[in-house]
A and B are shown apart, each in its own frame.
Chain A
């Protein structure tokens, strides 16, 4: 099972650096242009960025906050990335996330009184299952009649969100004015991590982050070491050759989109179990959509998703401090996020810049 290493360590590192070049350059370009925008608007980037850094990584509490915000993005990023690897654009992670959240909010109450580890496992499984189910119909439509998943998963997002809106204002509404479900009992929640790692101080980051990292590693392994992942990648890269090699393209498509949906469902479960302890219809800040950006930045590599999610988490966590200390509106962070996406998407541009700097470097050297 272990892969014999043929490439030397140096070659491997060189390869890794090449893979990292585009995302890193994209982030740096985005920060650079963000600085220019700040300057033009009359803010000082030399104050703003250190403030942001402090807000994101300045101490245990800040790091915890960054990881907290990274958690749902990790799951949705993995969801979108896995879909992309199989040639599918799951733009509806948001809807699957809502259904996952719904299942947790309901099941958490039903399981009240049972042991916490049992509840955690059951609620994760149920959320994954319902996320997969929510992706199944679009998957089936894609596999059988070729309906494009961008349209259908998006439609299912609307359906999912409105079902949740209706349930939290009606059948599942907790007593009181606010449209939300009842609070989960403690045994149906995810423990906070400062209980495990003292240095995280009193931050809200919860076990969901660790679960996300483990799931990312699992997914990396699935893609590389299993026939399931192999078939998904083959179909994503060349469906005709896959078909010729006896791989069923429709069933691979269905499996991949359902796995993607399951991952997005987990994002909803962990948000409900770890952050809100209940469901209301604003519990996701568009995590399903930001997940697309995370996957792009990670170049659809599950391990890259961990890093990309933490970066987006840091941007979001640091934005508040930046506003407080440098008076830069948090909207600037959105601009930087958008620029990162732009540059990653325009990979050719980043490659061109990398190529130029390298050439210049070579000329200087010779």
Chain B
């Protein structure tokens, strides 16, 4: 085989208290897609950040085209033909796509930026690799998938031969993922090499030529998709066997817990986001709302949890009307909420785990009496929950921001389930988590159901919906367009209704016939 474009030899990187990379070696050949697979915190970003000049290795060396280089800065990496799209995009929001792409490498004419030339070059690149994008759109107004394209184009504009994508699919819809994959394939067909970082197994199986698996800062294995399967990859990544489809007893539906009737909710722009939705959830049942993001699920959740005032309709919990209640009243009546965005809504990142564990219950005994905290109790409860929910942390006094995403989510779950609610509203409870953590979260949600709680699950992941739900409600453009029993619908069928297949017709029929929600 020809000599690799990039070779990392024994790279080691230490952070205070963490060995983030332990003598990691990896090589990348031209025209190759290498998937870098590992749980959150395995050290994937650290490794590529060293290659991109953002971090300096403590030990080891990096060879580009067989020559040892000391990559000092991203600028230097770019000069060496290495481009990278970060987990968090680095675009200038108020500028247009073209401006962003040429920023730092502007074609100039008489000292001024030559915009026609810039636009032309963006057009050319974008048609060459099937990266369709409007060069004059302002970045702020673009969907995430489009912003990612702009990032990729930016790297290509700088003549990257190697493209590093750090968890590129974390923010994409399934459709956008498919488009990204075809872009990546056309890039390698043209001779580029791609490092594709992910913790999602099915992505590795479908895109990678070669898989390098990392765990706890070290490379634990290397293989080809053809030589393994998802279970094999999962075992390598987590270090033990992983259950994919959870074993589920049939649900025993008890009393109705949540009853939503003809509910309408407005969004920030005062447009109707939820349009007359009715459904109920009974004790011991998981009802999943499946839908593509932005079809009213977020507003529905906010209405049920008291964060947003409905415009019309009613919400009742165990027969008690909570339509216009506050979030505090919702919590106190028995609604627990695992919010979609745990950093924004789920946790106070600068609070320690004890303080986060009581958020929402902090006014109640035994945590506080007459407004004064009893830290002995709080610390004991926190320790117990940390143990019960297997939160990996040195102590309950660590700030939440110091934990990995999976452990942060466990803190939120521990708090919301520890409260012993009647209804659990879980919005995207496994977003951004790795398989080990997903397995844990799923088993906890099922345990809640089996102990007679009502669960309303909101998820974009069909896999999750299919494996957990007893009933599936498909939401499209603010309406529930279909209802399925567990196992009744295939992924394709769900996807069809989620994307409005038959939805438009259905909506018309609803208007004309007055028949609402199946």
Q: Which A residues fall within an 8 A CB radius of B?
A: 1-4, 6-7, 225-228, 230-231, 233-234, 237-238, 240-248
Contact = CB atoms under 8 A, between A and B. Distances in A.
B44 interface: no
Contacts of A6: 379, 395-397
B346 A244 contact: yes
Nearest to A7: B397
B372 A246 contact: no
B372 A225 contact: yes
Contact of A1 (B326, B328, B375): B375
Contacts of B379: 3-4, 6
A228 B345 CA distance: 20
Contact of B351 (A4, A237, A246): A237
Contacts of A230: 355, 362, 373
Interface of B: 305-307, 326-332, 337, 339, 344-351, 355, 359-360, 362-363, 368, 371-376, 379, 395-397
Contacts of A242: 348, 359
Contacts of B326: 246, 248
Given A4-B379, A227-B362, A237-B351, A244 B345 contact: yes
A240 B376 contact: no
A245 B375 contact: no
A240 B345 contact: yes
B345 A241 contact: yes
9 A-B pairs closest in CB distance: A246-B328, A245-B359, A245-B360, A244-B345, A3-B375, A238-B348, A246-B331, A246-B327, A237-B350
Nearest to B360: A245
B364 to A, nearest CB: 9
B346 A241 contact: yes
Nearest to B363: A227
A244 B351 contact: no
Given A1-B376, A240-B344, 12 more contacts: A1-B374, A4-B375, A7-B395, A227-B372, A233-B351, A234-B355, A234-B359, A238-B344, A238-B348, A238-B349, A241-B359, A244-B307
A231 B371 CA distance: 11
Contact of A4 (B330, B349, B373, B376): B376
A234 B307 contact: no
B345 A246 contact: no
A241 B332 contact: no
22 contacts: A1-B373, A1-B374, A2-B375, A4-B379, A7-B397, A227-B368, A227-B373, A230-B355, A230-B362, A234-B348, A237-B350, A238-B350, A241-B347, A241-B359, A242-B359, A244-B305, A244-B307, A244-B346, A245-B362, A246-B327, A246-B330, A246-B360
Contacts of A226: 368, 371-373
Contact of A227 (B345, B350, B371): B371
B401 to A, nearest CB: 10
A225 B349 CA distance: 19
A247 B307 CA distance: 11
A4 B337 CA distance: 30
A244 B368 CA distance: 19
Nearest to A230: B362
B348 A241 contact: yes
B187 to A, nearest CB: 38
Given A4-B379, A244-B345, A225 B328 contact: no
B309 to A, nearest CB: 13
Nearest to A3: B375
Nearest to A235: B348
Contact of B327 (A233, A234, A244): A244
Contacts of A225: 372-373, 375
Interface centre among B307, B330, B348, B395 (most CB of A within 10 A): B348
Contacts of A238: 344, 347-350
A295 B360 CA distance: 29
Contact of B376 (A2, A231, A233, A246): A2
Contacts of B362: 227, 230-231, 245
B132 to A, nearest CB: 35
A230 B355 CA distance: 8
Contacts of B349: 237-238
B452 to A, nearest CB: 24
A6 B347 CA distance: 23
Contacts of B306: 246
Contacts of A237: 348-351
A358 to B, nearest CB: 12
A153 to B, nearest CB: 25
B348 A1 contact: no
Nearest to B332: A246
A230 B351 CA distance: 10
Contacts of B374: 1
A250 to B, nearest CB: 11
B111 to A, nearest CB: 35
A245 B337 CA distance: 9
Contacts of A3: 375-376, 379
B328 A248 contact: yes
A242 B362 CA distance: 11
A227 B395 CA distance: 23
Interface centre among A1, A2, A242, A245 (most CB of B within 10 A): A245
B372 A243 contact: no
B158 to A, nearest CB: 30
B373 A243 contact: no
B307 A243 contact: yes
B420 to A, nearest CB: 16
Contacts of B397: 6-7
Contacts of A231: 362
A245 to B, nearest CB: 4
Interface centre among A4, A240, A241, A248 (most CB of B within 10 A): A241
B337 A244 contact: yes
Contact of A244 (B339, B350, B363, B396): B339
A240 B308 CA distance: 12
Contacts of B345: 240-241, 243-244
Contacts of B368: 226-227
Nearest to B331: A246
A237 B373 CA distance: 19
A277 B362 CA distance: 44
A15 to B, nearest CB: 10
A234 B348 CA distance: 7
A247 B332 CA distance: 12
A38 B360 CA distance: 56
Given A4-B376, A234-B359, A244-B305, A228 B371 contact: yes
Nearest to A246: B328
A1 B367 CA distance: 10
Contacts of B350: 237-238
Contacts of B344: 238, 240-241
A48 B288 CA distance: 74
A248 B374 CA distance: 22
Contacts of A233: 351
A227 B355 CA distance: 11
Given A243-B307, A245-B359, A1 B372 contact: yes
Contacts of B371: 226-228
Nearest to A247: B328
Contacts of A4: 375-376, 379
Given A7-B397, A244-B345, A234 B373 contact: no
A2 B379 CA distance: 11
Nearest to B380: A4
A204 to B, nearest CB: 37
Nearest to A228: B371
